[in-house]
Structure 1
Amino acid sequence: MNRIQRCFKSLSSAGFIRILDDHQLELFSHGIAYSKLLQQQWLNLRPLAAHLGSTHKSSSDSNPHRFAFTRSPQFLTNFKKLLEDHPRKAKCPTLIKHQQSSCVLNDNSLFRVKSPGTVLTTDFLVEPYRALEHFYNMQRESKIWWMRLSSDPSRFSIVPCHLPDELDSKSYQAIDITSKYGEAGEVIVEKLSLVKMEDNEGFILPDARTGERVIPTVIRSTIDLETATIALLLDGCDHRRETQSLLLNRILAPYQCGIACLDEDSSLSDDLRDLCLHLTNVISQSGLRLCQGSDFELTKESSKLRSDYLTESDKLGVPYTLMLSNKTLKNGLLQLRSRDTMIAETIHISDVPDYLLNIFRKD
């Protein structure tokens, strides 16, 4: 079993994916939660965009050619929505975002995803004379975004795509952003395509600088959400460390914090439990996502705490765990244990959750 297969097995046992009989992968439980957080990050990216909501891909939009989208009924519908619903944004340059339920292409060598999936699409309508400038800027911005979400930013590359002979490079450009996993292969996480529209009077916008009416050039970004989700999960799992930790981005981790408590004095058990419940309430109200289950683990065995709870938390990608003991009741001090370093630092209970929130804001 190679290391990628071991990663898939680990992700499956942790409840992030399901491996189906036909070797397809399907997001499951924690993976679905992670996918929704990734989708929200995409919604927050380039916040000035006009959001047009979700659609289902129709049979009339089934042309597989990546440059054919400007001739699709869906593109025309989106353009009309821009003019009608977002008239103040109807100028060059502008951004349109929409989501589609569509067939997954499965054009990578590492895994296949069960269809249908969700395609996240961003259309950047730009001035024709600045199209290449915008295209290069968008490449750079997209690559940096993926690198920030990754545990290993060096995985991500911009790969130019070969154009068919019948297409002019002055009117068409295409690149893929890929995530590489050594000799095992690579996954396309985002596709960028540039199409210069000509002689189409149905698509005219004013230039934001000059006011001149122009037919915009379109730069389209497409992300297969499920494919990208599994690629990032694989990235967090394939870290070549001895541990089985899942190194997820702290903002995207389905659970950001856990509470583990070592109860060595039965006479203080009720007080310790009440303290854990108080911390659970405080952290939840702060907006941080607590680990699954009862939100805290209370045990009398130190070895069980480390071998079971902390190991399971690391497999779930939980970035931080608050570790309490009977001494916490006396001096207010607890240990904040990091998933990435496995080192615990001492903080005072009154600093929770502000201390944690400051850490997460840095991302």
Structure 2
Amino acid sequence: MAKASLTQMEKIISLLHKSSFVKRNRNRGKFSSYTFGPAGVLTSRNLNQLLWDSLVTSQIDTYPVENSVFRNTDEPKQLRSNLSQGTLKHLPDILQLVNYTLPFAIVQRGQTFPESLATQYEDTFLFDSSVQTSIVLQYFCSPSSALQSFDQWIQQRLLWWRKYASDPAQISCSELETLNENTSRAFIQCQFPWGQDNVEEIISRGSNPVSDLQETTKVKLQCANGNKSYTPHLIECSTVLEHCLMACLCDAYTESTAQTGKKSIPTEKLNLHPKIAPYKLSIVSSSKSRSNEIQEVASYLNKDLRNAGIDVFHAKDSLSVEDQFIRNDMMGLPYTAILSEGTLDSGTIELRNKDTTLK
């Protein structure tokens, strides 16, 4: 294995520990287990939902399915390492549902248990997780439209990744790789401290997987176009949530300076996209003389915003306002509401933007 330059990687891992994102528990051979704190759970949830929306909610004729985490084999309780085979087995039922009309897609999301590492580099943190959340989309189309559909899926997935990146230029697509006469693939790649690595695979599998399933099940899986019948062509997009999360966190990591009193000190922060950030807003108080009254207002505001579906971070500690700004930036929180005596007297609230630090 290649040895990564971990100077920046160590800083990122340290920041993730300090800001309650995630920490490594222990190594088990080549794999590790992890504990997610509040910020990590919420960020992972947001990213998971964005992935689901891009592959299911925003797509027409897309059908979600689910399987057991155990492989469907003669060996008892053998855990699955990917979702592809289990997802494909839903094809006969979905074909009947759509009356054998193409195109359509089947999507599955669930836990997988990798048999080998997805990267050639050492100590890449979440890439070596022993339990992963995988998501796979299988798109079925006619052979005549397969080439165009394959290109469209590559472009669509590349645009999705760049949409939420702090630096879109760090997201790229690999060159097209031909595995055999029926199979080609490309990877969405991100820049990490250890180098460029794959985060999503888009593969055109041809008609062979469907033909093999038809042979195994003895169920007709062909579609008709006039007097002609054909076997659906399969295009597959697959990724792992933990790899996506690591890509977003590494992309968002930035070193900067912060003002504390009259001093400028070096700090670290996460420039997360607002839709990925664990909390959308933090509430801080700049007054100590009327702190009890302000805390009542803060609690009311917190509850009101949460009822509106907005995740709010409201820490009840003794940090200065400047130190709370630093902590919020470390967590990638886009906005901070500053409650002061002016809030009590006139109802005004200052709002700080993470990107501009203006209020």
- Identify the TM-score tier after normalising by the shorter chain: 0.7 to 0.9
Match of 2:199 in 1: 189
User: The residue matched to 1:330 in structure 2 has which SS?
Assistant: helix
1:289 aligns with 2:311: yes
| Contact 1:123 1:220 (8 Å CA) reproduced | yes
Alpha-carbon distance between aligned partners in 2 of 1:221 and 1:261, rounded to the nearest angstrom: 46
User: The residue matched to 2:174 in structure 1 has which SS?
Assistant: strand
Alpha-carbon distance between aligned partners in 1 of 2:99 and 2:166, rounded to the nearest angstrom: 36
User: The residue matched to 1:100 in structure 2 has which SS?
Assistant: strand
Match of 2:301 in 1: 279
Amino acid at match of 1:195: R
In structure 2, relative to structure 1, the CA distance for the partners of 1:140 and 1:320 (3 Å cut) is same
1:318 Cα deviation after fit = 1.3
| Contact 2:42 2:279 (8 Å CA) reproduced | no
Q: Which of residues 265, 270, 273 in structure 1 aligns to 2:289?
A: 265
Same amino acid, percent of matched pairs: 18
1:58 aligns with 2:58: no
1:44 Cα deviation after fit = 1.2
In structure 2, relative to structure 1, the CA distance for the partners of 1:138 and 1:32 (3 Å cut) is same
The one-character-per-residue Cα deviations of 1:5-25 (angstroms, maximum 9, x if unpaired) are 211121122221213443846
In structure 2, relative to structure 1, the CA distance for the partners of 1:107 and 1:203 (3 Å cut) is farther
1:176 aligns with 2:184: no
Amino acid at match of 1:282: D
Number of matched pairs: 321
User: The residue matched to 1:282 in structure 2 has which SS?
Assistant: helix
| Contact 2:274 2:280 (8 Å CA) reproduced | yes
User: The residue matched to 2:89 in structure 1 has which SS?
Assistant: helix
Match of 1:349 in 2: none
1:236 aligns with 2:252: yes
| Contact 1:26 1:113 (8 Å CA) reproduced | no
User: The residue matched to 2:150 in structure 1 has which SS?
Assistant: helix
* 1:43-192 superposed matches below 5 A: 43-46=52-55, 47=57, 48=60, 49-58=62-71, 60=73, 72=85, 74-83=86-95, 87-88=97-98, 90-104=100-114, 105-108=116-119, 109=121, 110-111=124-125, 112-160=127-175, 162-164=177-179, 167-168=180-181, 171-181=182-192, 184-192=194-202
Amino acid at match of 2:320: K
1:226 Cα deviation after fit = 1.2
1:339 Cα deviation after fit = 1.6
1:212 Cα deviation after fit = 5.5
| Contact 1:276 1:296 (8 Å CA) reproduced | no
In structure 2, relative to structure 1, the CA distance for the partners of 1:123 and 1:132 (3 Å cut) is same
Unmatched 5+ stretches in structure 2: 1-5, 258-266
Q: Which of residues 22, 41, 44 in structure 1 aligns to 2:50?
A: 41
Match of 1:3 in 2: 8
Amino acid at match of 2:221: I
In structure 2, relative to structure 1, the CA distance for the partners of 1:4 and 1:176 (3 Å cut) is same
1:90 Cα deviation after fit = 4.9
The one-character-per-residue Cα deviations of 1:141-166 (angstroms, maximum 9, x if unpaired) are 101111112111111111135444xx
1:323 aligns with 2:333: no
1:253 aligns with 2:282: no
Match of 2:238 in 1: 222
Alpha-carbon distance between aligned partners in 2 of 1:156 and 1:277, rounded to the nearest angstrom: 40
1:259 Cα deviation after fit = 0.6
In structure 2, relative to structure 1, the CA distance for the partners of 1:338 and 1:203 (3 Å cut) is farther
Amino acid at match of 1:26: Y
1:265 Cα deviation after fit = 3.0
Amino acid at match of 1:107: A
1:314 aligns with 2:338: no
1:83 Cα deviation after fit = 3.6
User: The residue matched to 1:194 in structure 2 has which SS?
Assistant: strand
In structure 2, relative to structure 1, the CA distance for the partners of 1:9 and 1:28 (3 Å cut) is same
Match of 1:304 in 2: 320
| Contact 2:87 2:108 (8 Å CA) reproduced | no
| Contact 1:94 1:125 (8 Å CA) reproduced | yes
1:322 Cα deviation after fit = 0.2
